[in-house]
Chains A and B, each alone.
Chain A
Amino acid sequence: MSNFVSNKSSALCFKLSGCELLMVSCLALMSLPIQAAPEISDELKQLRAQMQMMMKRIEELEKQQTEKQVIPVVQATVTEEPKKGKGVIDLMSDNTTLTVGGRIQMNTYYDWKESKQGHLAYNVRDTRFWLKTRTKTDYGLLSATLELDLAGTAGNERTSNSHNPRLRHAYVQLGKITLGQTNSLFNSIAAPDTITAPIDDVFVRQPQMRWTEYFEGSQFAISLEQPETTLTDSSGKRVTPGTDRFPDLVTRFTWHGDWGEASVAAMGREFRNDGVVAGVTDEAYGGALSLSGKFLFFDYDDLRYGIAYGNGLGRYMAGNYFNAGSIDDQGQIHLLPAIGGHIAYRHWWNESLRTSLAFAHIQTDNDDVVPDTTNKLGQFYTANLIWIPVKNGQLGVEYYYQRKKVQGGLSTDSSRLLFKASYEF
């Protein structure tokens, strides 16, 4: 017994405190005289019981010591493996990914107009460059986009053709919120696949605040966008008072499925002249509705359509071909209803060769305030053939015929043959 205790205590000595070691040693020593005096058996029993208790205590302490010595498992830091993608630079230090991209495009065109013999020109002004970042935040994914093109002030054709860069997009997206400048929510979602935008093009790019809600097979969005009143005065001049007070309000609902997609958009706007014309203040409220989309045919083909109508369309359609209304010499605003639409069929001859045929029409009901030189209507016909010789590269040829008519009845025709070469990088 004593040997056992002695061995046990020596084995544990490195784990026990000094006090506990002393107690164990004392008990071991006490056991010797007890064995030497067998007559006091009761005392011996008590001592044995105490010994057992002490052994139990030693075992408990041993267990505790062992637990304390367990080294906690350190979780290895999981670093996201750098991912490879087109134009991707992974800024790992800030949890941000930077993507670079753009497009090089050369357009060549030859114009025919009634009064001219013809005109040939080349340009690369549709060339673009963009930067995108994406960062994970506590509030969701934060992405930012900046895009420029070369359609700013034109350079001269004599020497260097140094066209100036122009801002296209500058926006930040955090979850469902988009803030900054990008395409208007009112824009058509299914413009024809043509090199030249059709005459009814519902297209504006401007600063806005947008909320988008996604559902299965559909989405809803609402935005407050940059206001700008554009009116025609009695001399035919465009007037932009610049005294707007409320943002343009746009909402859109879009559905999509195997059949294609469809979208309805509504817009409400305030038009205001605060003393700019005739020193008086006047305001008017207008709006517009738009329906656009496409139906899919034969796996690859599609039929695209778009129609917009309202007394607040103005600058939102056809590159501000019409103003939203007129302003008379007394400074009073009169909104003018306008309508525009297109239909286009895109056929893929094979996976790299396609043709689009498109027709578009726009017109407005001018009043007596505007002069006879004010735009009244326009029509547009086009056909093209576009080939994708390499991934992200295109070569295309297109012909269009366009007719425009002014309030006084005078109409002008023009035709253009275009050639496009582009590469998206």
Chain B
Amino acid sequence: MKIDKALLLPFLLLLSAVFITSCVSPVKKQETCEATDHSKKLRILLHKLDTVVFEPTYSELERDAYKIRYAGEISKIVEDMVNRQQDKKVKACGLSLSSQQEQLFDQLSAQLQVQVQQLIGQVNEQQTEFIKPQINRINQTCTSCHQQLGIITP
């Protein structure tokens, strides 16, 4: 069977156009620190977690497996971030913090540590329906810290 070239050619052209558009999409270059790198990875994983419900053929069994996988990856990144925050040098992307800000940072960091441990527990117990609310709580803590300390995220 021969593939109809009259149809395949425009299809390939369209495919190429979309692919090239993806390649040349403007990416804002800016100074980043570990927190902003983590933020970008987390943003992508959160997007995957949110859109897995739109996958056309997945069963709930498969959706749950993907949710657990993505949540596991998120928890690893956040846990790594919390552990690194113990090091003062990487605290708040190297910003010089006042004692009050430092106190706030430590407080939110401790809160994040508790929240990520809860998330790890939920992932291990496959409590899929509790994962997203817990990630939202983590997101709120991160956002609160970034806003109050003026940390720029991509």
Contacts and interface: CB of A to CB of B under 8 A. Distances in A.
Interface string B118-141: 000000011101111100000000
Interface in B18-42: 18-19, 21-23, 25, 40
B8 A359 contact: yes
A201 B15 CA distance: 20
A197 B22 contact: no
A298 B25 contact: yes
Contacts of B55: 191, 193
B17 to A, nearest CB: 9
Interface string A191-204: 11111010001010
B57 interface: yes
Interface in A344-359: 345, 347, 351, 355, 357, 359
Contact of A357 (B15, B61, B69, B132): B15
A54 B46 CA distance: 77
B129 A99 contact: yes
A197 B127 contact: no
Nearest to B23: A298
A109 to B, nearest CB: 16
A99 B53 CA distance: 15
Interface stretch (A24-32, A80-88, A272-280, A308-316): A80-88
B114 to A, nearest CB: 14
Contacts of B87: none
A62 interface: no
Nearest to A382: B11
B130 A85 contact: yes
Interface of B: 1, 3-4, 7-8, 11, 14-15, 18-19, 21-23, 25, 40, 44, 47, 50-51, 53-62, 69, 125-127, 129-133
Q: Which 3 A-B residue pairs are closest in the complex by CB-CB distance?
A: A85-B129, A191-B57, A85-B130
